[in-house]
Structure 1
Amino acid sequence: MSKYYQGSFLEVLYVLVISAKSGQLGNRLLLSANFIAFACENNFTVLNPAFEEYADFFSSTDKDFLCCYPSTPFSIAGNRLLRKYYYNINRYLAESGRFNTINIKRNQPFSWSNSSITKELKSRSINFFQGWVFRDGWFVDDISNLQKHGKKIRAYFQPLKKYQLNVAKLISNIRSQTDVLIGVHVRHGDYQQHQNGRYFYLVEDYLKVMESTQTLFPNKKVTFLICSNQEQKEDYFQHLSYVYGNNHIIEDMYSLAECDYIIGPPSSYTMWASFYGERPLYMIRDVNKTLKIEDFVHFSQWKGVFYYNEDWSKSVWEWTH
């Protein structure tokens, strides 16, 4: 039980609704995970209509169009039309002024334990949340709660069985022929514009990092699992042992989570893979860096520095360790 709510929250009902979309898959998974961890600490209920486009990929949310945590004994499976309607009506209610709507401003890192936001929660009421509250590194002070409730969160966000089987087949085939498996997230496409291309790296840049990583495992066969949001040419990586992922947004993410190590630019996509698979991640910031094994960091070890900019889109959170 959180020190802020001792006694009182066991006697009343609090419903937290994630009523606005923030980013893509990785961001929404991390946001959901933080709400679930907070709900576990305080006996709250979370509804997540903002998970609309991704709900059909996961075993818990596929069966429940409300995307409710904790899962209810009786639920109704969703479909695209129903989920879209569910999201839109929640957006309307959040902006109607009839309920308690909490807007999270992106002007500083957010923490449940240090934020006055928790004092705005109303009991016996629906509390709508809007804002990029847990985007990328904004939840650094709450990592301990994610670790504490990680087992429940991972169980809730298990992919559907068909995706699990495809991932298992891919990983099993690779592991039968290698000693060390390293996942590489080649983030192209949208990253050419994201933060003015700050983390958009050419294939040649990824190759430098991969070659540096390979030297960390002398006398072992290293294979790279390459996942990308843009098709890559077959001949880019021929001097290395490599396999391309299944080119599916869920299967690639959860395949990265099964690797021994993960490499990629700063991205919530690989952050989730690192958290879910409990695998160490190296976030590329300097493509010319000579890597050490200590540069691969487990989710629970991350810290960070926040750089504020008056233009919130240019505010930057940099993970360190």
Structure 2
Amino acid sequence: MLVISAKSGQLGNRLLLFANFIAFAIENNVTVINPAFDEYADFFISTSQDFLCCYPPTPFSITGNQLLRKYYYNINRYLAESRRFNTINIKRNEPFNWSNSNITKDIKLGSINFFQGWMFRDGWFVDDISNLKKHQEKIRAYFQPLNKYQLNVAKLISNIRSRTDIIIGVHIRHGDYQQHQNGKYFYLIEEYLKVMESAQTLFPNQKVTFLICSNQKQNEDCLQHLSYINGNNHIIEDMYSLAECDYIIGPPSSYSMWASFYGERPLYMIRDVNKTLEIEDFVHFYQWQGVFHYNEDWSKSVWEWKH
């Protein structure tokens, strides 16, 4: 049994981490439970009905609540740090993936194995993409949002599609990105506008509507010359609405990466706001490649995407 006993990042990172563990569990016929998914478990059909957050799902599950989930996570953290069981720490000095890591040799079959550390962050899993692709249907099925969220997403997307040809989802990441890596990927609304205008020129004979999803309210005065609609301003509905767009634009972020994976939609990660876009700049999840640049100051370590 594999137990994810430490939290890494927010929703997008946690989903990608969990998905990678599920793919590994399927390949190796083992069970994974994820107490560290507690804040997000109630958003999804499978995990909302199982406070263990277990894969494969158990025949008899117990519905959790926030208090129970928090208690369950704390117990697992205590057990992992107590060293009473096999605890595997993933260090931050290099990307971790199953395919080229010696960590798998430390797993004790038939025992409980706790995993701690920052794993699969923002694309550290590129060498494991083949397994994600192989088991994509099972992973997507496991991470279906609750029906109420699915209905809200379907209503929003249907409304947009009824009056446009192309939907481009735009993830405007403000808030925490002002500090993240010293604001390296914090772009002003005017800079997002440049990218959006460039993207619009790729479809000269079609009507393009932008679906804007952001973690902060935007000044929309500069967007008035574009056709756009705001998302529902809900962490799950916005993510899964992006997954229903024809194309996705956003800064380097696991949030939009999950949307790209789940919806099988091409994604353009903004690294140069002045770049003139080409259609080939939108890349499907399984086409991503990258190089990790390590820095002793962890906040300055960079994952450089290539495609």
Q: Which TM-score applies when normalising by structure 1?
A: 0.95
* Among candidates 137, 154, 157, match of residue 140 of structure 2: 154
1:184 aligns with 2:170: yes
Q: Deviations over 1:50-86 (max 9, x none)?
A: 0010000000000000000000110000100000000
Give the structure 1 partner of residue 192 of structure 2. Answer: 206
Whole-angstrom CA distance in 2 between matches of 1:286 and 1:235:
23
* Among candidates 156, 175, 181, match of residue 161 of structure 2: 175
Deviation at 1:233, TM superposition (A): 2.3
Corresponding residue SS for 1:290: coil
1:222 aligns with 2:237: no
> Amino acid of the residue matched to residue 52 of structure 1?
D
Please list, as runs of the form range in 1=range in 2, the aligned pairs for 1:88-107 lying within 5 A after superposition. Answer: 88-107=74-93
Whole-angstrom CA distance in 2 between matches of 1:236 and 1:84:
43
Whole-angstrom CA distance in 1 between matches of 2:166 and 2:114:
45
> Amino acid of the residue matched to residue 305 of structure 2?
W
1:116 aligns with 2:115: no
Deviation at 1:107, TM superposition (A): 1.1
1:273 aligns with 2:259: yes
> Amino acid of the residue matched to residue 152 of structure 1?
K
Please list, as runs of the form range in 1=range in 2, the aligned pairs for 1:237-316 lying within 5 A after superposition. Answer: 237-316=223-302
1:52 aligns with 2:34: no
Q: Deviations over 1:203-260 (max 9, x none)?
A: 0000000000000001100000000000112323110000000000000000000000
> Amino acid of the residue matched to residue 261 of structure 2?
F
Corresponding residue SS for 1:125: coil
Give the structure 2 partner of residue 232 of structure 1. Answer: 218
Give the structure 2 partner of residue 11 of structure 1. Answer: none
Q: Is the 8 A contact 1:137 1:318 kept in 2?
A: no
Give the structure 2 partner of residue 8 of structure 1. Answer: none
Whole-angstrom CA distance in 2 between matches of 1:320 and 1:94:
36
Deviation at 1:175, TM superposition (A): 0.2
Whole-angstrom CA distance in 1 between matches of 2:246 and 2:14:
24
Give the structure 2 partner of residue 43 of structure 1. Answer: 29
Corresponding residue SS for 1:85: helix
Structure 2: stretches of 5+ with no match in the other structure: none
Deviation at 1:102, TM superposition (A): 0.2
Deviation at 1:276, TM superposition (A): 0.3
Q: Which TM-score applies when normalising by structure 2?
A: 0.99
Deviation at 1:313, TM superposition (A): 2.4
Whole-angstrom CA distance in 2 between matches of 1:30 and 1:230:
23
Give the structure 2 partner of residue 27 of structure 1. Answer: 13
RMSD (Å), alpha carbons:
0.6
